Amino acid sequence: MKISKDRAGRAGLVAAVAVFGFAAPVGAQPAYPVKPIRVITPYGPGGTTDILSRMVGPKLTESWGQQVIVDNRPGGNTVIGSEALVKSAPDGYTLICILTSHVIVPNLVSTPYDAVKDFAAVATIAKTQLVLVTHPSVPVKTVKELIAFAKSKSGELNYGSGGSGTVTHLAGEYFNMLAGVKIQHIPYKGSAQALTDLIGGQVHMYYSPPIVALPHIKSRRLHAIAVTGDARLDVLPQAPTIQEAGLKGFEIKIWYGMLAPAATPRPIIDKLGADIGKVLVMPDIRDRLVSQGMEPFVSTPDQFAALVKADFAKYAKIIKTANIKLQQ
């Protein structure tokens, strides 16, 4: 049988591709993303990571022409959502929106993943501090009054948290240690549930992300005692820092960001990081973050990876020094 020169040429080209890895031009490949992207949040609806995901997601959808779907996976001290991400295909179509608790929880409990090695840092989103809020029934207005009241009611006062091992839990234990008090910890599955019970009077106080507490402070359903950072919040100028109010050495800040499975291709990581960075400098996004006590936090994937590694070590030291135990 005779083979035409055209057919022979095509056969040779196929062989060259097979042997040498030659491929079609990059421009001929489908541009990422070509299907919807899922963003896991390890907390319930209404929590800060949920709000931030739904704030950034629509902007990315406008840019990509692909839907960004928020998938709430609360419970297990964020382990359920984080493990779901680690088990996902490393193709850029599953991300997780996390906060500082990502590097705290593994220092308190065994997790089915390595908080540093099993994740690829994509981009930071925002940074903030916490605001210590109390139910109006608690008869205190300042940090000094709170400490005195807690000492007079040892073991009777309690605080809610977004879950055992979260930064809102660590803040409470750190306060107990520095103030020499014993305020009981009540863990919840996310900030939304903790805040609901605080408003309802089921718990006495909570170290809340400003983004979810501000509406209730303004409506006077909650009282803001102080903030946990090194400067007052512009949107809450009446609340001093806890250090300023008399508890020296107390400072807790938190960051939020996106992670992907560790083996996600670097070009995809870089595109995600760059596109999220573009969203964060949009005036409307910046205004929304600032109005809720947060700051846009733009970083490269490498800078975010370094932050995750450094804070993992930092909180390991705090937890060990303070002898903080995970309350089951």
pLDDT value for 319: 87
Q: Is 247 a member of any domain?
A: no
Residues 209 and 287 in one domain: no
Q: Work out the mean pLDDT of the chain and round it to a whole number.
A: 89
Provide the CATH number for the domain around residue 191: 3.40.190.10
Q: Is 29 a member of any domain?
A: no
pLDDT value for 166: 82
pLDDT value for 130: 95
Q: Please give the residue range of the domain that contains residue 283.
A: 34-128+254-322
pLDDT over 60 at 21, yes or no: no
User: pLDDT for 222-273, tens place per residue?
Assistant: 999 999 998 999 899 999 999 999 999 898 889 999 999 999 999 999 999 9
Distance CA 230, CA 295 (A): 14
Amino acid at 180: G
Rounded to whole angstroms, the maximal C-alpha distance in the chain is 100
For the chain, the domain total comes to 2
Q: What share of the chain is helix, strand, coil (3-state, %, to 5)?
A: 45, 20, 40
Residues 220 and 296 in one domain: no
CA terminus-to-terminus distance, the chain? 77
Q: How confident is the model at residue 327 (pLDDT cuts 50, 70, 90)?
A: low
Residues 41 and 110 in one domain: yes
pLDDT above 90 coverage of the chain, percent: 72
Residues 75 and 221 in one domain: no
Residues 121 and 142 in one domain: no
- If you count them, how many residues does the chain have? 328
Residues 107 and 137 in one domain: no
Residues 118 and 150 in one domain: no
User: pLDDT for 95-153, tens place per residue?
Assistant: 999 999 999 999 998 999 999 999 999 999 999 999 999 999 999 999 999 999 999 99
pLDDT value for 30: 76
Query: C-alpha 191: how far from its chain's center?
Result: 12
pLDDT value for 1: 45
pLDDT value for 29: 60
Residues 40 and 120 in one domain: yes
Q: Minimum mean pLDDT among 7-11, 55-59, 172-176, 298-302: which range? A: 7-11
Q: Is 232 a member of any domain?
A: no
Residues 121 and 141 in one domain: no
pLDDT over 60 at 296, yes or no: yes
Distance CA 185, CA 160 (A): 6
Q: How confident is the model at residue 206 (pLDDT cuts 50, 70, 90)?
A: very high
pLDDT over 60 at 9, yes or no: no
Q: Is 264 a member of any domain?
A: yes
Residues 180 and 111 in one domain: no
Q: Is 38 a member of any domain?
A: yes
Residues 46 and 111 in one domain: yes
Q: What is the torsional sign of CA 188, 191, 197, 198?
A: positive
User: pLDDT for 58-94, tens place per residue?
Assistant: 999 999 999 999 999 998 889 999 999 999 999 999 9
Q: Is 239 a member of any domain?
A: no
Q: How confident is the model at residue 190 (pLDDT cuts 50, 70, 90)?
A: confident
Q: How confident is the model at residue 170 (pLDDT cuts 50, 70, 90)?
A: confident
pLDDT value for 26: 45
Angle subtended by helix axes 266-280 and 283-291, to nearest 10: 70
pLDDT value for 192: 86
Provide the CATH number for the domain around residue 264: 3.40.190.150
In sequence order, the β-bridge partners of residue 119 are 261
Tell me which of 191 and 172 has the higher pLDDT: 172
Q: Is 190 a member of any domain?
A: yes
pLDDT value for 276: 98
Q: Is 135 a member of any domain?
A: yes
Residues 223 and 135 in one domain: yes
